[in-house]
Structure formats: structure tokens, C-alpha cells
Amino acid sequence: MSSLTAENDTLQGTATGPLSGYVVLDLTRALAGPHAGMMMGDLGAKVIKIETVGTGDDTRGWGPPFVGPEDNRQATYFLSCNRNKLSLSLNLKDEEHKEKLAELVKNSDVLMENFRTGVLDRLGFSTQVLHELNPRLVILSITGFGHDGPEAHRSGYDQILQGEAGLMSITGSGPDDPQKVGVPIADLLSGMYGAYGALAALLEREKTGRGQVVRTSLLASIIGVHAFQGTRAMVAGQNPQAIGNHHPSIAPYGLYGCKDSKVQISIGSEKLWQNFASSFNLPADDPRFISNALRVQNRPALNELIERAFSGYDAEELLAALDGAGIPSGKVRTIEEVYEWDQVKSQGLIVEVDHEVLGKINLPGPPLRFFDAQTNNETTRTVHSAPPVLNANAQEIEQWLASRKDNA
């Protein structure tokens, strides 16, 4: 690691986690890059978020909903992807501010950016310049359609890429009802892939002593999770289409009605099918249903029999019966219900932070947990900092840079 250690850390607190002591310079905005930066912060890295002077990250204005006092409203969108960061405002067209950025580059381990291709070069911070300033720097660059190729110039926004990369064509009630996913999944996936790539480059740096450039895109991130739908198209020659809330290759697997609502079941093996059929008086040996392939082929008839069997149960009674039979099943919860669920709370998936404007608030928590293999004690970061107000950490970052020069 190149910069912050427990001995010389003069920035906010001393975070625990596998990336404790590393510094990430986050030049990104909106969601893909900020999500990657937040992942690094959750792992203990010091993440310095560079924001536009006066306005900050675009998502500070994305709402409603906004919360807080009327004269200082905070966008909940921004709160979703910027915990465990420090904020510094810079004008990257100003020479003095460029010098400050150069000093930050020299003292960072990772730089993240999601400018359109060529923008950082025009600002005077090409890959060559960045590596002249810091040969050990890992650079993560995220674009919409990729860094080269005939459409590299296009601006990439999540829903556009959900459509362009095929995801909307397999999401919805049917082929004529393309739907986007309920969260900006292209942004989130590219942030995850980006953080994963940056970590791999840091590991490689331990062997080579040199940083490298990691590139991903919203387009690549969606194609990266096509999974069996991709091989259906490329290997089997099928063109996947949306079929609603049922699995295209497994049956029964999906959402089914009962007396008062709907439940989900997943029958992923022949043993489960036999258990399920016997528990709910379904004809397991019917020639239409004796293999998964035949059940998929005859899904409409099978679904009709299942919903008839379920029609006498209310949802809670049905879920209890399914669980008793060893059948994977579940309800469809609202987002509000998810955060009231004891299982979610038990997994550390809600964190409390103290926000400068809003006071104590709860945020969705990080999805990873860490344990010491020898003691089995949990080493996950448990103390988190709130998403910062704009330019909140300018003074302490200045002091840290000054201390770095003094110790050089």
C-alpha cells in the first residue's frame, strides 16, 4: 500500500477491513463509479470523493425524495451510494486545483473515473500522466459502451443499456412487454465488476510493483450476467424472450397464486419434484411431467394444476406446508417489509450512521462479512461514516497532504 497506514492516518477515523490503509481517489459521479467506490470504502479503504465545485455529484440533485430541512435538502439517491467517503470539491479546469489533484494521485492506490472516453486526457490527466505521477496507481475506468469500438463515443445511462444489452427483452410479462429491472442494474453491476477488477489489479501490483488500467462498461456488465440466456442464444441458437415470473429452463419454478396472495417455489431437481407432487397431490407420473424438459414443455398445464392445488391455502399456511415438505419457497416482500425482517437485521444489512444534516439515519448495509479463520471472530467493518455533505473534508484532506509532504 502506498499511502495511509495506521501510523500516519490523519484522515477521518481508522477503518478496519481488508483494505484498511489503502486510499481510493473517486472521480466518478452518478451511480456506477460511486457504487464501486463505496464497495472499497466498505472494505476499509479511505475513499476521497472529488466533486464539482458548487453542485457536487449529479445525484445530489436527483429526486424526489429529498429529506432534511427545507434550506438544506438531501437526496436519498446520493445517500444510497456514498457512505464511507470523504468529500473534496475541485474544479478540474483550474490550474491550482489540478495541482491538488496531482498531489492526491501521488498519494493514492486507486483512481476511479467514469468520464466519457477522452475527457480525462483533455483535462491533462491521461493514463501516461497519471502513471508518471504514480507508477503504482491502479486506474479503474468505467464507460457506457466500452472504451473503443464503433460506438465508444455514446453516453451510457442505465436504462438505455438495459435495452441495448438485451436485458429488457427477457424481462417482463411476455415478448411484447419489455421491462427494465427495478434498480439501475447496469450501473450497479459495472460498479461491482469495477471494484472486483481494481482489487485484482492491487493483488497483481504486489507481484509487479506497477499499477495498471482496469476497464469495464455498462454494456459489458450486463452481457457478463447473461448467463444461461447468453448460451441459449450463442450455442443453442434460440432467441430468449420474456416469459414473466417463470423460469425458462426449469419447471415448476416461479410465482403462483393462492387464496389470498402469491408465493414462489423453486423445484430444481427430480427429488424435489417427487416430494412436491406427493405433498400436494399432483400427478408426478403423468407422462407430461416425468422429466424437467417435459414439465417445461407442458408448463401451462402444470401451472394450472399447481394453482388449483394452492387455491385452498392462504399464503402463510401454504409457505408453512411447503417448508414442511422441504420445498424451497418464499413470499414477495415490499422493500419496507425487507428492512423490518429480522433475518436482514441479523446479517448486518442495515447500518446506522450519523449524518451532518440529517442526524442518525439507517442505510442499506454492505453485503460482505469477514471472519478470522483461526478464532472465527468477525472482522467485518462495523463502524460506518455517513455520505458526506459537499466539500465536508477539504480541511482534513489538506492537512493530510501537507503531512505527506513533510514526511516525504
- pLDDT score, position 399: 94
pLDDT > 90 fraction of the chain, expressed in percent and rounded:
92
Higher pLDDT pick, 52 / 408:
52
Decide if pLDDT at 7 tops 90: no
Does the structure show a pLDDT above 70 at 24? Answer: yes
> Contact 240/232 with Cβ under 8 angstroms?
yes
DSSP string across 74-122: EEHHHHTT--S-EEEEE-TTSHHHHHHHHHHHHT-SEEEE-PPTTHHHH
Nine-digit cell string for 161: 443499456
- The yes-or-no verdict on residue 327 having pLDDT over 90 is yes
Distance CA 100, CA 96 (A): 7
Q: Residue 3: is its pLDDT beyond 50?
A: no
- Whether 354 is catalytic: no
Report phi then psi at 300, rounded to 5.
Answer: -55, -45
The pLDDT assigned to 8 comes to 39
- In the chain, CATH 3.30.1540.10 covers 253-330
- pLDDT, one tens digit per residue, over 100-140 is 999 999 999 999 999 988 899 999 999 999 999 999 999 99
pLDDT surpassing 50 at residue 9: no
DSSP, residue by residue, 344-370: HHHTT-EEEEEETTTEEEEEEPPS---
Q: What is the pLDDT of residue 382?
A: 87
Residues comprising the chain, all counted: 408
Give the pairing of strands 329-330 and 262-266. Answer: antiparallel
30, 190, 28, 40: which is closest to 120 by C-alpha? 28
Tens of pLDDT, residue by residue over 341-394, are 999 999 999 999 999 999 999 999 999 999 999 999 998 998 999 999 999 999
Question: Under a CB-based contact definition with an 8 Å cutoff, are residues 103 and 23 in contact?
Answer: no
Residue found by looking up cell 475541485 in the block: 90
Provide the pLDDT for residue 16.
82
Q: Which residues contact 115 (CB under 8 A, 6 or more apart)?
A: 27
> Which regions of the chain carry the CATH code 3.40.50.10540?
23-225+345-407
Query: What angle is formed at CA 349 by the lines to CA 346 and CA 351, rounded to 5 degrees?
Result: 105
| CATH number among 3.40.50.10540, 3.20.20.140, 3.40.50.720, 3.20.20.70, domain 23-225+345-407 | 3.40.50.10540
> At 82, which amino acid appears?
N
Q: What is the pLDDT of residues 205-216, one digit of tens each?
A: 999 999 999 999
- Residues 397 and 42: their CA atoms lie apart, in Å, by 20
- For the structural domain made of 253-330, what CATH number should be given? 3.30.1540.10
Residue 181: strand, helix, or coil: coil
3-state secondary structure of 255: strand
Query: Taking a C-beta distance cutoff of 8 angstroms, is the pair 300, 252 a contact?
Result: no
Q: Identify the active-site residue in 177, 187, 286, 372.
A: 187
pLDDT over threshold 60, residue 193:
yes
Which tens digits make up the pLDDT trace of 57-85? 999 999 999 999 999 999 999 999 999 99
Per-residue confidence band for 11, with pLDDT thresholds at 50, 70 and 90: low
Looking up cell 423445484, which residue turns up? Answer: 267
Under 8 Å between Cβ of 357 and 68: yes
pLDDT at 123: 95
What confidence tier does 406 reach under pLDDT thresholds 50, 70, 90? confident
3 versus 385: which is more confidently predicted? 385
At 262 the pLDDT is 96
Average pLDDT, the chain: 94
pLDDT recorded at residue 15: 72
